[in-house]
Amino acid sequence: MSASSRPVEILQVGPYPDWDQIPLDATFTMHRSFEADDKAGFLNSVAGEVRGIATRGELGTDRAMIEALPKLEVISVYGVGYDAVDLAACRERGIRVTNTPDVLTRDVADLGVAMMLAQSRGMIGAEKWVRDGSWASKGLYPLKDRVFGKKAGVLGLGHIGYEVAKRLSGFDMEIAYSDVSAKDYAPDWQFIGDPVDLARHADFLFVTLAASPQTRHIVGREVIEAVGPEGMIINISRAGNIDEDALLDALEQGRLGSAALDVFEGEPKLNPRFLALDNVLLQPHHASGTFETREAMGKLVRDNLTAHFSGADLLTPVL
Ligand code: 8YV
């Protein structure tokens, strides 16, 4: 695997399940920075030897870490989103970056659609209604909003957005999407280039675009208000794609009907204003969180590292 017989040294910045950790430990020398109390001291102590980083989508790798590792060659991201990796710093040093696309696409789309259904039909409250005895003491659960046949907007028709739209077509929805250009693989869905116009069309606006500095707060006050007091925004991408303060203001003031969110600024901590709202469904960034997908993601992380250090082509390169 490496020129010398010693295993390659990898910095691991977040935990993985045992089914990934065990094979990683068997192949590489893994330095678990997330277990260290003194992270800077730990980084310093291994910096001279580390040639790879194993990270997670939401943790990424910042410039300071990249610059602290003079022998760094490759960063393997457990996640499709690599927005938290400083790509400019990687380019400057010729550091390769890999991610885990495709294997998670359909699970992420499933959760987005499930969030729409759960929030629209009030399923979390309905469960509580049964468990706390309200059904018996108060009677029928309050009526909720229909989903099928309504208008959906998909902001970002990449792989995940495509799978969301495909699922929504099963609910007889009128589907439109925004992207940088109309997609020939989506002849049945209306292309609406401007996100504000898309939001005006949508009863349900799905945010499914890859995050970048260019998409930061693409869902701002104007888009949010165009979805309106009867509409819902579902975010299964990155928190940075939405102006969270504007979203909270609109949810609190009823200028947006509701939201269903799997991602938050500063997660896993979140703005406490969310907790006071009952028109928002809160999920703990688990759209890719099925056994099947996480096993496939872990395998890709390992296979990319192994490919790099054995001189083979990367399986899923970003850079
Ligand atoms: C996370 C994700 O990486 O794929 C992504 O970009 O955000 C997720 O799959 C997951 O929570 C594992 O850390």
Per-residue pLDDT reduced to its tens digit, 137-156: 999 999 999 999 999 999 99
Dist. CA 74 → ligand 1 center (Å)? 18
| Residue 238 is a catalytic residue | yes
Residue of the CA atom closest to atom 6 of ligand 1: 81
Q: Is 130 a residue whose pLDDT tops 70?
A: yes
Query: Predicted confidence band at 2 (pLDDT cuts at 50, 70, 90)?
Result: very low
Please enumerate in sequence order all residues whose Cβ is within 8 A of that of 163, keeping only pairs 6 or more positions apart, or say none: 105, 106, 108, 109
Tell me the C-alpha distance between 25 and 7, whole Å: 10
> Residue 269: which pLDDT band, with cuts at 50, 70 and 90?
very high
pLDDT at residue 115 is higher than 80: yes
Q: Is the pLDDT of residue 194 over 90?
A: yes
Summarised one tens digit per residue, pLDDT across range 235-256 is 999 999 999 999 999 999 999 9
CB atoms within 10 A of CB 288: 24
CA 130 to chain centre: 32
- What is the rounded average pLDDT of the residues 105-126? 98
Residues 51-77, mean pLDDT to the nearest whole number: 97
Q: How far is the CA of 309 from the centre of ligand 1 (A)?
A: 24
Using a pLDDT cut of 90, give the percent of the chain over it.
Answer: 98
Instruction: Tell me whether residue 67 is one of the annotated catalytic residues.
Output: no
Q: Is the pLDDT of residue 76 over 60?
A: yes
Pocket of ligand 1 (CB under 6 A): 56-58, 78-81, 104, 285, 288
Find the 235 Cα to ligand 1 centroid distance in Å.
14
Is 267 an active-site residue? Answer: yes
pTM, whole model, 2 decimals? 0.96
pLDDT reported for residue 302: 98
Taking only the tens place, the pLDDT of each residue in 166-189 is 999 999 999 999 999 999 999 999
Please give the domain boundaries of the chain with CATH numbers for all domains: 9-101+292-309 (3.40.50.720), 105-282 (3.40.50.720)
- Annotated catalytic residue, options 73, 225, 267, 295: 267
The pLDDT value given to residue 4? 55
The residue whose CB lies within 8 Å of the most ligand 1 atoms, and thus the one to mutate among 16, 55, 285, is: 285
Q: Which of 96, 106, 200, 238 is catalytic?
A: 238
Q: What is the pLDDT of residue 5?
A: 73
Mean pLDDT for the stretch of residues 51-65? 96
Examine the pLDDT at 127 and tell me if it is beyond 60: yes
Pairwise CA distance, residues 189 & 178, whole Å? 10
Report, as an integer, the average pLDDT of 221-231. 98
Neighbouring residues of 8: CB distance < 8 A, sequence distance ≥ 6: 1, 2, 28, 29, 51, 52, 305, 309
Q: Which atom of ligand 1 is nearest to the CA of 82?
A: 6
Mean pLDDT taken over the chain: 97
